[in-house]
Amino acid sequence: MSIAVIYGSTRPNSNTELLTEHAIKGHEVERIHLKDYHIKPIVDQRHDADGFDDVNDDYNGIIERVLKHDVLIFATPIYWYSMSATMKLFIDRWSQTMRDENYPGFREKMGKKRVYVVAVGGDDPKIKALPLIQQFQYICDFFGMTFENYVTAKASQPEEIKHNKEAYVRAEQLLNNIKQPS
């Protein structure tokens, strides 16, 4: 059971990161901090005769790392009630990979992943992050991924999450159905 954490945070040591690191304590994971890479917005060329142009950025290297893992934890701050643009840039490009002959079977491979979401924001996320959670469910449905679990939590000031006891307790439950490596 190999785990990747895909971070959509835009500052180091973010509340999202602190909570996620608590959730994964004791697990070996590969961390991917999207903010450290350059990903261009997708240009919809699904219907162009020649398909998508090659894009010169860091995306392919990241998706290759992601594909190696069984479990994907999407950890994102909640910006304007949805995932950060930093994370959305990454996810939008999946539409290109689905048509990229260098990645045959992309949809099927993604469909075998087990997905977790951690989302942290300042404006009543226990209610206002629910649309974001529903969107992740639709993404999982599209691929046939299992959306295993999620935690939403409230925090705004740096390190404020550390005082959110309920969030930490919930984070400890997040990966309950993954067996700890012995």
Q: How far is the CB of 121 from a copy of itself (least distance, A)?
A: 11
Question: Which residue is it, tokens 């935690």?
Answer: 151
Nearer to a copy of itself, 58 or 82 (CB): 82
Nearer to a copy of itself, 14 or 60 (CB): 14
For residues 57 and 72, what is the distance between their CA atoms, to the nearest angstrom?
22
Q: How far is the CB of 145 from a copy of itself (least distance, A)?
A: 12
Site for a copy of itself, rule CB under 8 A: 9-11, 14, 35, 41-45, 47, 77, 79-86, 88-89, 91-92, 94-95, 123, 126-128, 130-135, 137-139, 142, 147, 149-150, 157-158, 165-166, 169-170, 172-173, 176
Nearer to a copy of itself, 157 or 182 (CB): 157
Nearer to a copy of itself, 48 or 64 (CB): 48
Packing angle between helix 15-23 and helix 165-174, nearest 10 degrees? 50
For residues 165 and 176, what is the distance between their CA atoms, to the nearest angstrom?
18
Which residues share a beta bridge with 31? 5
Q: How far is the CB of 127 from a copy of itself (least distance, A)?
A: 5
Nearer to a copy of itself, 1 or 130 (CB): 130
User: Under a CB-based contact definition with an 8 Å cutoff, are residues 167 and 19 in contact?
Assistant: yes
Q: How far is the CB of 173 from a copy of itself (least distance, A)?
A: 5
Length of the chain: 182
CA-derived radius of gyration, the chain: 16
Q: How far is the CB of 37 from a copy of itself (least distance, A)?
A: 11
> Cα dist. 70→30, 42, 67, 139, 182 in Å?
11, 25, 8, 16, 18
